[in-house]
């Protein structure tokens, strides 16, 4: 590792910044710092296996390393190139990063790709070449290439991509006759977290946090921290950056942060790269006021800071209130614990107003020992003891801090911030990806089915509202519609921890007694967390508004497909709602006598 003896803690931390040279990836270099920070991922093992198989194979292989922007393709390829000497031998392997490399400024990216892959064109495959190619390519670029005019020369490659469903939201293990020529790993199939029946977890994020916080000789962060503490113990105790680092070392804090990040990825559909994750960690440790400062400038700031300024620099505020720092912070702001209300939490917040000194609540409900300097200074600096106008703002700051700390380090475990809908969705997502259909009965038969029938209004039994003409407030039309889940049964996986999975559940429903051409013509709907959350609200009585129907237009189309297969040609029920009273009339077609009957029901 590079000489870090003279570096202070803030200097080491700056390597995590998005703007740091350490954050820039290229296939030719892999620094000592990156080697230390490297965490092995399942997708890396899959890729490494393909590379080793290609190295020992008689014929050349093309390994597609697919995915999206910033998902770590370049980092892992750089790491493996540093690990295996044969990857640096151009006669054996050629590594091409489609996002960054081009032979000529006069060539388009597709022309460049056609030239690079010429040995794997339909004609080139007849030449028995021996040079393997590893191609790092985003899914969009791969799609553009095989659909281009050059794709006509790569029919076998296109067939392989289609058969493996690489460009679809499907995880396929189907064998291909060209598996001995083409191999692929799709980073989009892997995520920063894994699914279990006990909820999601992230060994990868946990690994990154451990690399930064572990108390070992080879950890440059921890060694720099120790040097700063030893240089001036008294000043270090007042240093919010060092205090934040000590907080981050706590396992419970790490777990809460991991939970927040997974929630942000699921609820806000946030894609987090390793680069963005490291930048986020830097931002929650270093307050904005000290962000671009040197070690000496930070020392000077600490000398002059008061207790209130110190408090605002603590990790909870950097985690929840530094909204403009990154896309991760913006997503976390939308799931901020201060947005959640519970009876227990409300009782505590009332205590801040009813007690003579709200500082007492910190000692009673927060594991305050994790904040030694704050704990010592809270009572003598309590704004409740100084009834001045300016102390009111500090009271609000401390009240907010209490909520954050009650989320991060409560003295006793509690369920005040529990999100049952989220937990249920993640459990369903696990069983759906695992193909354990028996565990999804409630999802199909209650959650989704009930929402289908209640989407346009409260029907009875198997009656569903249909849209006829302009929206009405007095008269409504309903039809009989008997729907049932359509399940394609496959054997479930034996894994209890899923690293490779889809983030949306695709559910199919069919109308009873309707014949469909094949499984692909049966109506289906992709359910992510936001739609799932809305469906549960509808099941419990909420009525979707215009905004909901516009946002979830695919669900509207899904219901329409089901409704169109109903029996509205044979029978329609009209409902009149006046003065709180509901009356229903039935219009029914009698095919025997070719006539309609209309009667009250």
Interatomic CA distance for residues 290 and 268, integer angstroms: 29
Residues in the chain: 601
Which residue bears the tokens 């009209």? Answer: 574
**Has residue 192 got a pLDDT over 80?**
yes
Helices 274-285, 251-267: axis angle to 10 degrees equals: 130
Say which residue, 535 or 292, is predicted with more confidence: 535
Interatomic CA distance for residues 279 and 261, integer angstroms: 13
Predicted local confidence at residue 330, as pLDDT: 96
Interatomic CA distance for residues 260 and 265, integer angstroms: 9
Mean pLDDT of 576-599: 64
Predicted local confidence at residue 515, as pLDDT: 87
Predicted local confidence at residue 108, as pLDDT: 79
User: Per-residue pLDDT tens for 403-413?
Assistant: 999 999 999 99
Most confident by average pLDDT, 294-303, 506-515, 587-596: 294-303
Interatomic CA distance for residues 324 and 265, integer angstroms: 18
Predicted local confidence at residue 564, as pLDDT: 81
Predicted local confidence at residue 2, as pLDDT: 44
Decide: 139 and 167 in contact? Cβ < 8 Å: yes
Predicted local confidence at residue 574, as pLDDT: 66
The pair of three-digit structure tokens given for residue 331, joined into one six-digit string = 């997503």
Other CB atoms within 10 Å distance of the CB of residue 308: 15
Decide: 131 and 151 in contact? Cβ < 8 Å: no
Can you give 125-187 as a three-state secondary structure string?
HHHCCCCEEEEEEEHHHHHHHHHCHHHHHCHHHHHHHHHCCCCCCCCCCCCCCCCCCEEEEEH
**Has residue 432 got a pLDDT over 50?**
yes
Interatomic CA distance for residues 455 and 433, integer angstroms: 27
Nearest CA to 563 out of 455, 444, 442 is that of 455
**Has residue 255 got a pLDDT over 90?**
yes
User: Per-residue pLDDT tens for 441-453?
Assistant: 999 999 999 898 8
Predicted local confidence at residue 475, as pLDDT: 66
User: Per-residue pLDDT tens for 5-32?
Assistant: 578 999 999 999 877 666 555 555 677 8
User: What residues are paired with 62 via a beta bridge?
Assistant: 133, 182
CA torsion sign for 63, 69, 73, 78 is: positive
Predicted local confidence at residue 596, as pLDDT: 63
Kindly state the percentage of the chain with pLDDT values over 70: 86
Decide: 74 and 245 in contact? Cβ < 8 Å: no
DSSP code, position 447: I
Kindly state the percentage of the chain with pLDDT values over 90: 56
Question: Which residues 6+ apart lie within 8 Å of 590 measured at CB?
Answer: 596, 597
**Has residue 1 got a pLDDT over 50?**
no
Predicted local confidence at residue 563, as pLDDT: 82
pTM more than 0.85: yes
**Has residue 568 got a pLDDT over 80?**
no
Say which residue, 565 or 539, is predicted with more confidence: 539
Interatomic CA distance for residues 260 and 336, integer angstroms: 9
């Amino acid at each position: 590792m590079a000489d870090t003896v003279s570096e202070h803690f803030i200097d080491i931390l700056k390597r995590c910044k998005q703007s740091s040279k350490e954050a820039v990836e290229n296939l030719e270099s892999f620094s000592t710092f990156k080697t230390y920070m490297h965490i092995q991922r399942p997708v890396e093992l899959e890729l490494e296996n393909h590379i080793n198989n290609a190295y020992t194979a008689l014929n050349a292989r093309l390994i597609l390393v697919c995915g999206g922007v910033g998902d770590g393709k370049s980092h892992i390829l750089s790491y493996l190139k540093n690990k295996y000497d044969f990857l640096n031998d151009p006669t054996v392997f050629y590594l091409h990063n489609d996002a960054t490399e081009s032979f000529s400024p006069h060539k388009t990216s597709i022309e460049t790709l056609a030239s690079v892959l010429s040995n794997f064109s339909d004609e080139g495959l007849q030449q028995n070449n021996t040079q393997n190619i590893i191609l790092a390519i985003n899914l969009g670029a791969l799609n553009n290439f095989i659909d281009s005019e050059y794709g006509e020369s790569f029919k076998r490659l296109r067939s392989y991509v289609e058969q493996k469903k690489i460009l679809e939201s499907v995880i396929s293990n189907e064998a291909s006759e060209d598996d001995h020529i083409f191999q692929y790993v799709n980073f989009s199939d892997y995520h920063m977290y894994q699914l279990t029946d006990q909820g999601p977890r992230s060994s990868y994020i946990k690994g990154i946090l451990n690399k930064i916080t572990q108390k070992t000789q080879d950890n440059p962060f921890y060694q720099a921290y120790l040097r700063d503490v030893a240089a001036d113990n008294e000043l270090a105790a007042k240093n919010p950056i060092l205090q934040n680092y000590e907080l981050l070392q706590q396992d419970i804090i790490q777990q809460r942060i991991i939970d927040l990040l997974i929630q942000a990825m699921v609820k806000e559909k946030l894609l987090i790269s390793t680069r963005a994750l490291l930048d986020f960690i830097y931002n929650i440790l270093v307050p904005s006021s000290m962000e671009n400062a040197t070690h000496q400038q930070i020392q000077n700031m600490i000398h002059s800071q008061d207790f209130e300024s110190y408090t605002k620099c603590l990790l909870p505020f950097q985690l929840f209130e530094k909204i403009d720092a990154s896309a991760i912070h913006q997503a976390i702001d939308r799931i901020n614990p201060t947005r959640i209300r519970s009876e227990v939490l409300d009782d505590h917040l009332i205590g801040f107003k009813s007690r003579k000194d709200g500082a007492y609540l910190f000692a009673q409900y927060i594991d305050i020992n994790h904040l030694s300097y704050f704990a010592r200074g809270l009572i003598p600096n309590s704004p409740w003891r100084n009834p001045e106008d300016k102390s009111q703002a500090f009271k609000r700051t401390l009240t907010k801090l209490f909520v954050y700390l009650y989320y991060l380090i409560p003295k006793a475990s509690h369920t005040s911030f529990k999100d049952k809908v989220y937990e249920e969705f993640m459990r369903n997502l696990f069983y759906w990806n695992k193909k354990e259909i028996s565990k999804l009965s409630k999802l199909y038969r209650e959650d989704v089915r009930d929402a289908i029938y209640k989407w346009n209004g409260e029907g009875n039994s198997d009656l569903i509202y249909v849209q006829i003409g302009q929206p009405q407030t007095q008269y409504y039309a309903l039809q009989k519609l008997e729907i049932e889940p359509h399940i394609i049964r496959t054997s479930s996986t034996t894994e209890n921890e899923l690293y490779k999975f889809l983030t949306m559940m695709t559910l199919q429903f069919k109308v009873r007694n309707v014949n469909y051409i094949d499984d692909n013509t049966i109506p289906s709907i992709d359910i992510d967390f936001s739609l799932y959350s809305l469906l549960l609200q509808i099941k419990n009585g909420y009525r979707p508004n215009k905004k909901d129907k516009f946002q979830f237009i695919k669900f509207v189309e899904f219901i329409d497909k089901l409704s169109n297969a109903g029996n509205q040609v044979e029978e329609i029920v009209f409902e009149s709602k006046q003065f709180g009273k509901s009356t229903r009339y039935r219009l029914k077609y009698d095919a025997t006598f070719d006539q309609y009957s209309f009667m009250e029901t």
